[in-house]
Chain A
Amino acid sequence: MTDYNFAYLDEQTKRMIRRAILKALAVPGYQVPFASREMPMPYGWGTGGVQVSAAVLTPEDRMKVIDQGADDTTNAVSIRQFFEKTAGVATTTQTAEASVIQTRHRIPETPLTEGQILVYQVPIPEPLRFLEPRETETRKMHALEEYGLMHVRLYEDIARHGHIATSYAYPVRIEGRYVMDPSPIPKFDNPKMEMAAIQLFGAGREQRIYALPPHTKVVSLDFDDHPFEASKPDVPCALCGAVDAYLDEVITDDAGGRMFVCSDTDHCERRRAAGHRGPVAEEDAA
């Protein structure tokens, strides 16, 4: 396709986005405003991630796109096709082979390595947004490190429910400075954010980019007597038997039957290819 520039965006726009990315990497966890462009897919469907990916992609890259951990969910397919068409880059479903991974709601189970870039799609970049709707106020709160309100909210959860009632988009503190929204990943994924790869977060509609350089310290907010716990359903994957992977619950019949399977399809497939079997796969084989 020659009607559009490589990876769709014009070079000026990419340069503007790269400047925002560099600033974001220099101030980890800080939300850098950028002049988000209208993309040919709707706001809220990954336009921030797409713009960040477009700005970092080179023709030699190999790209992977996941949504809910899976490569074949419709929006992941759509975004992967967009880059196949506009950038002509090679794509893959294998985490280890990808140089750029765009994701929505998950961090792959396979640990990422140096040289890889993980691009998150972010709906609401502001972790304080639902405590204070005004951007003018929340920017002030970040500037003054005024995070008391967040701790009060977590405390109120404990007072009411006995637990912190946040299961995804669980707020983190970056290098002891900025409180950051990790995007709506399950809190199970939070500990993985201390990784060797570069993590970039793009929020198109909200016009913000933020980032974590490799090995940045990421602490999930908690209390000494209520430590953070990365939880998941306490069963193995029905297909591959993994006990340490995040699972989706799938309803299998109308009598309440259900099974749990890996949300990371690449992880599950590779384990099965290596001969691992879960309880349902065992039954089928029998």
Chain B
Amino acid sequence: MYVAVKGGERAIEAAHAWLAEERRGDVEVQELSVAQIREQMSLAVARVMAEGSLYDPDLAALAIKQARGDLIEAIFLMRAYRTTLPRFGASRPVETGDMACDRRISATFKDLPGGQVLGPTFDYTHRLLDFKLAAEGGAEPAPRAEPAPEAVPHVMGFLNQEGLIETEASSDAAPPDLTREPLELPADRPLRLQALARGDEGFLLGLAYSTQRGYGRNHAFVGELRLGTCAVEMDIPELGFAIEIGEVELTECETVNQFTGSKTEPPQFTRGYGLVFGRAERKAISMALVDRALRAEELGEDLSGAPAQDTEFVLAHADNIQATGFLEHIKLPHYVDFQAELELVRKLRAGVTREAAE
């Protein structure tokens, strides 16, 4: 006799045990340490911190280990941990102008104060598999230059002196937080930027690319791309002043886009902005392009119906944890709904067959 499937509980336990075994892989091969992942998979760690919205390289490395290298799974682990953390307060806004830059380039000026600093980039490497790495992982120390004596100024500041680029209205209003409030539309720019900063890199890359190919085109110059560490300061009420509580590594991208203007206002360049935890250039540039595309309406541009210009479309689908959960939930049982559909299709088919026979 058929017995309704029992043993879901045992099956789950066994599946978890098998998963743990698979995660470890061949036990003859040395186990990866969290420190190894943190140091040698640092770009994966950066992505997990950025999209997990939690700056903690050790936890991100642990999540990657636990997730067997599946970064979206690792991001999920970070997010689930993050929500359980109490909030002590908010830091002051980080000053990216004071960033200790490891890399800072501008595609709009050949040379400029602060200089072009390539930093540790893949950009001009030839993508040839380095078989030596398979045998040994040592690296010679790289040549060192003196660090820049002063803070490296933002490229956008130079354009701003001439009034050639729009000035962002400054505001002391607390930005909204979509991790604490439900997303309400229409979303203003701070909220959009928050959503993009934790959005899926691949999704943003695809959207940004689509704007370059004409779906909501707005040609972007990389005014500046900078990467380095910034101090995080927090006001301590008991002390009456702000103290530095740590440093975060950030990647910032500012784009210079086409001008708006009217009969009364002279044309000006417009801005797109990207800011991401860790070293994440691709994400930062993508974010800046998508940010700019989402400003089409406020800048009075023609809305072409391009996906990247559609705030509701972009914000509703940028989060990979939401996306992957809902996508994968179709693996769950749907016997009941499917039964209802089966019955309906049989009924509809019977109707057609009967009519054909008459």
Contacts and interface: CB of A to CB of B under 8 A. Distances in A.
B51 to A, nearest CB: 12
Contacts of A238: 2
Contacts of B351: 161-163
Contact of B333 (A4, A73, A205): A73
A105 B76 contact: no
A167 B2 contact: no
Contacts of B7: 72
B336 A72 contact: no
B9 interface: yes
A4 B12 contact: no
B343 A231 contact: yes
B329 A74 contact: no
Interface of A: 4, 8, 10, 33-40, 42-45, 47, 67-70, 72-78, 81, 104-106, 123, 134-136, 161-163, 165, 167-169, 184-188, 205, 207, 231-233, 238-239, 246-250, 252, 259, 261, 263, 265, 268, 280-281, 284
Interface in B174-201: 179-186
B211 to A, nearest CB: 21
B8 interface: yes
Interface stretch (B82-90, B153-161, B234-242): B82-90
A43 B321 contact: yes
B17 interface: no
B337 interface: yes
B135 interface: no
The secondary structure that dominates the B interface is helix
Given A4-B84, A44-B328, A33 B184 contact: yes
B337 A280 contact: no
Given A136-B185, A167-B343, A249-B342, 15 more contacts: A38-B79, A38-B83, A39-B80, A44-B327, A67-B332, A70-B4, A105-B337, A161-B351, A163-B348, A186-B336, A233-B343, A239-B4, A247-B339, A248-B339, A284-B1
A125 B180 CA distance: 20
Contacts of A44: 325-329
Please give me the 3 A-B residue pairs with the lowest Cβ-Cβ distance, nearest first.
A43-B325, A44-B329, A42-B325
B317 to A, nearest CB: 11
B124 to A, nearest CB: 39
Nearest to A233: B343
Interface in B302-340: 312, 316, 321-322, 324-329, 332-337, 339-340
A185 B337 CA distance: 7
Nearest to A189: B336
Contacts of A8: 84
A27 B265 CA distance: 49
B6 interface: yes
Contacts of A232: 343
A167 B337 contact: yes
B96 to A, nearest CB: 27
Most buried by A among B325, B327, B347: B325
Contact of A186 (B86, B312, B337): B337
Nearest to A185: B336
Contact of A75 (B76, B332, B335): B332
Nearest to A250: B2
Interface residues of B, number: 50
B12 A78 contact: yes
Contacts of B357: none
A68 B325 contact: no
25 contacts: A4-B84, A36-B182, A42-B325, A44-B325, A44-B327, A67-B332, A72-B4, A72-B6, A72-B7, A105-B334, A123-B326, A161-B348, A167-B337, A167-B343, A186-B337, A186-B340, A187-B340, A205-B325, A246-B339, A250-B2, A259-B2, A263-B336, A263-B339, A265-B4, A280-B2
A105 B5 CA distance: 18
B339 A233 contact: yes
A72 B9 contact: yes
Nearest to B11: A74
Nearest to B341: A167
Nearest to A284: B1
Given A43-B325, A205-B326, A35 B336 contact: no
Contact of A43 (B183, B322, B336): B322
A268 B84 contact: no
Given A205-B322, A233-B343, A263 B335 contact: yes
Contacts of A73: 5, 8, 333
A247 B182 CA distance: 38
Nearest to B82: A38
Given A35-B181, A106-B336, A135-B185, A42 B76 contact: yes
A184 B339 contact: no
B117 interface: no
A259 B4 CA distance: 12
> Which of B184, B185, B322, B340 has most chain A Cβ within 10 Å?
B340
Contacts of B79: 38
Nearest to A42: B325
Contacts of B1: 239, 280-281, 284
Contacts of A163: 344, 347-348, 351
A136 B312 contact: yes
A175 B79 CA distance: 39
A35 B83 CA distance: 12
A160 to B, nearest CB: 9
A5 B181 CA distance: 21
A134 B312 contact: yes
A239 B1 CA distance: 9
